[in-house]
Amino acid sequence: MSASRSSEVDAPSDAFLIGEWSRLVFATLREAGITDVWVSPGSRSTPFTLAAARTAGLTLRAVVDERSAAFMAVGYARVTGRPGAVLCTSGSAAANYFPAVVEASQAHVPLVVLTADRPQDVQHAQAAQTIDQLKLYGGFARSFFDLGPPDGAPAALAGARRAIAQAVATAHGPLPGPVHVNLRARKPLEPRPAQTDAERALATRVERLLEKPLARHAPGSALANEAVLAAARTLQQAGSGLLVVGPLSAANNSLAEPLAQLAELTGFPIYAEATSQLRFALSEHALAAPLLDWLLSTPEIAQSLIPDVVVSIGATPTSSAYERWVGRVPTRLVLAEHGYPDALGSADLVASGELGPALSALCHELARKVSPRKPGSFAVRLRAAHDACERQVADLVAAPTRELSEGAVVKAVVESLPADAVLALGNSLPIREVDAYVTRAKRLCVVSQRGANGIDGLVSGAVGSALGSGAPTLLLLGDVSLLHDIGALASARLVPSPLVIAVVDNAGGRIFDQLPVQRLYAEDARLSELWLTPPGRELSHAAALFGLTYDAPTSLEAVRAATSEAIARRGGTLLHLRVGANSAAEQRQRVVAALGAEQAALASAGL
């Protein structure tokens, strides 16, 4: 027998090699910190799915739709801070992960994407279910690892283990986000037990490699001391200012105390959006101004309220009125968790890192050099305008209407949630209406998809957040957003804790009624469907199809009662909230007009 023939006989079979290769991959993923894997069915991923199912400590969840599965993993990571993993077969299945990869990248949410792939020899040859998966997600992936074909050589095994550990570490940071691992497999795809000495030797090599602990990874993430000192110097010199807190991760729920201290040291008011995790924690603070968006949406008020400095904390605020207004402020400091959130390109300082230690250090530096300040004239004027706004909004919500209004319904739902519940907010109107109408509520964990700001996968993300937190979870979204992800209702059955999907049904995408395009379709009703896309579907049928409890309350008292009952009930509930189609735009116009008239009256009186 020739030497080459002898080596082939002594080599492990492909069927055994793929099994050990897959075992190494998933045991390493588990050791690196992955505990939850969302798996979608497929053939090429068979050995990897089997290995995942056999790895102790991994929880697998089967989801048919890869797009939905990936958003579930993103939602899970939002509340846990830990990356989930998704696993699919080759070809277009991997492409379905793309929207969630984009959201995870933009929102700095850790995610590990595992895509099975065909061997190199069938690439670019029109082989079935084969596409070019190399760097499939482009610049949206923090890193890309192609493990290549399974290889039993010691160096190849060690390299694969290192690559998997590195992928998980890269997903964590220092700039968290999605990481793509491409897993190639050649048929046969069904592993078998060891039958030869070569196969038993390979199993031993894998076992010994797994016995050696992974290297510890410690990325640096502290906000630079120079940035803290520079911010302190600016605040010491500023006569007036504003603290604005945009979206923050759910893990950042401990910033209330240092932020309150910073406000008291400077005398600056605080505007905290609901997605900051701090809005409700600081709702009783004397310097809290949660209705600032209303004030900045009123031209007469926005022009009269220009401070010396704005300190923006977290990601870019949702408020478009704030975005238009802040360009007039002479000095702007940005302190973020990650990245460079300065879309205007005019910030005087942009620094990113751990915000808790940074705010505490900033307070310590200020306390060494200045005494706590009383609120200045800017803060006093803002407070007077804010009090007037609060009265206007309260009167509007309390006013009787022929049908449920959007603002009143949103306020009733959120205020009915118990402490420590998870509130998932849909984009477009829901996230803005919580900021507009809900100033006080119990402390909640608020999650949102403000990375790419799309309506993709909102139901899926809420399911993932519910699974990750184990807490009662309510998703507040619009009717179009629900229809966009309605297949995810099938996965609501995976959630054992209370999960409420509260759908504000206003007959379409009514945020467009508040945008300039409204003037175009107002003149031609046929055009309106191109933007509003009213679903026109009976949601009780969807609830019945997917086994959800259905409720459609028709009064505010019934809305509060239905929300309280649903959030206390295990399993899924579809809460159908029908509101006046134009109530959101009408309510907004009414408040802004009233505030503008009041401001004009004060100005004419010389006040």
Share of the chain above pLDDT 90, in %: 75
Mean pLDDT of the 306-326 span: 94
Which residue type does 34 have?
I
3-state secondary structure of 36: strand
| 514 pLDDT tier (thresholds 50, 70, 90) | confident
Q: Which pLDDT score, from 0 to 100, does residue 217 have?
A: 67
Residues of the chain with CATH 3.40.50.970: 10-211, 399-590
Residues of the chain with CATH 3.40.50.1220: 225-386
Share of the chain above pLDDT 70, in %: 96
Helices (H), 303-376: 320-326, 355-369
CA dist 565 and 547 (Å) reads 17
| 606 pLDDT tier (thresholds 50, 70, 90) | low
Q: Which pLDDT score, from 0 to 100, does residue 160 have?
A: 95
| pLDDT over 90 (residue 262) | yes
Superfamily (CATH H level) for 10-211: Thiamin diphosphate (ThDP)-binding fold, Pyr/PP domains (3.40.50.970)
Neighbours of 125 (CB within 10 A): 8
Q: Which pLDDT score, from 0 to 100, does residue 7 have?
A: 46
| pLDDT over 70 (residue 492) | yes
CA dist 550 and 538 (Å) reads 11
Residue 18 or 344, more confident: 18
Q: Which pLDDT score, from 0 to 100, does residue 173 have?
A: 86
Please list, in sequence order, all residues whose beta carbon lies within 8 angstroms of the beta carbon of residue 481, skipping any fewer than 6 positions away: 426, 427, 428, 455, 458
Buried b / exposed e over 204-220, threshold 16 CB at 10 Å, is ebbeebbeeebeeeeee
Q: For the ranges 141-150, 377-386, 393-402, which has the lowest average pLDDT?
A: 393-402
Give the domain 399-590 fold: Rossmann fold (3.40.50)
Q: Which helix (H) or strand (E) holds 331?
A: strand 331-336
| pLDDT over 50 (residue 5) | no
CA dist 146 and 141 (Å) reads 13
- Name the burial class of residue 231, with classes exposed (0-12), middle (13-18) and buried (19+) by CB atoms within 10 angstroms of its CB: buried
Separation in Å, CA 545 to CA 125, 461, 504, 542: 42, 20, 20, 5
CA dist 478 and 11 (Å) reads 58
Q: Under a CB-based contact definition with an 8 Å cutoff, are residues 78 and 68 in contact?
A: no
Mean pLDDT of the 229-246 span: 95
| pLDDT over 70 (residue 198) | yes
Q: Under a CB-based contact definition with an 8 Å cutoff, are residues 52 and 60 in contact?
A: yes
Q: How confident is the model over 146-187, as pLDDT tens digits?
A: 999 999 999 999 999 999 999 999 999 889 999 999 999 999
| pLDDT over 90 (residue 123) | no
Torsion of CA 411, 413, 418, 422, to 10 degrees: -100
CA dist 453 and 280 (Å) reads 23
Q: How confident is the model over 354-370, as pLDDT tens digits?
A: 999 999 999 999 999 87
Q: Which pLDDT score, from 0 to 100, does residue 607 have?
A: 54
Q: Which of 263, 261, 279 is nearest to 382 (CA)?
A: 263
Q: For the ranges 78-82, 203-207, 338-342, which has the lowest average pLDDT?
A: 338-342
Residue 517 or 153, more confident: 153
Q: Which pLDDT score, from 0 to 100, does residue 365 have?
A: 94
Residue 604 or 455, more confident: 455
Question: Would strands 331-336 and 241-245 be described as parallel, antiparallel, or unpaired?
Answer: unpaired
Q: Which pLDDT score, from 0 to 100, does residue 2 have?
A: 45
- With tokens 């530096």, the residue in question is 365
Q: Give me 511's structure tokens.
A: 């945020």
Please list, in sequence order, all residues whose beta carbon lies within 8 angstroms of the beta carbon of residue 241, skipping any fewer than 6 positions away: 235, 266, 268, 307, 308, 309, 310, 311, 378
Mean pLDDT of the 371-399 span: 91
| pLDDT over 90 (residue 569) | yes
Averaged pLDDT score across all residues of the chain = 91
Q: How confident is the model over 23-51, as pLDDT tens digits?
A: 999 999 999 999 999 999 999 999 999 99
Q: Under a CB-based contact definition with an 8 Å cutoff, are residues 375 and 383 in contact?
A: yes
Q: For the ranges 54-63, 94-103, 119-128, 465-474, which has the lowest average pLDDT?
A: 119-128
Superfamily (CATH H level) for 225-386: TPP-binding domain (3.40.50.1220)
Q: Tell me how far the alpha carbon of residue 346 is from its chain's centroid.
A: 26
Mean pLDDT of the 381-409 span: 91
Q: Tell me how far the alpha carbon of residue 71 is from its chain's centroid.
A: 9
Phi-psi region of 9 (alpha: psi -120 to 50; beta: other; left: phi over 0): alpha
Beta bridge partners of 500: 474, 573
| 603 pLDDT tier (thresholds 50, 70, 90) | low
Q: For the ranges 3-12, 513-522, 596-605, which has the lowest average pLDDT?
A: 3-12
| pLDDT over 70 (residue 131) | yes
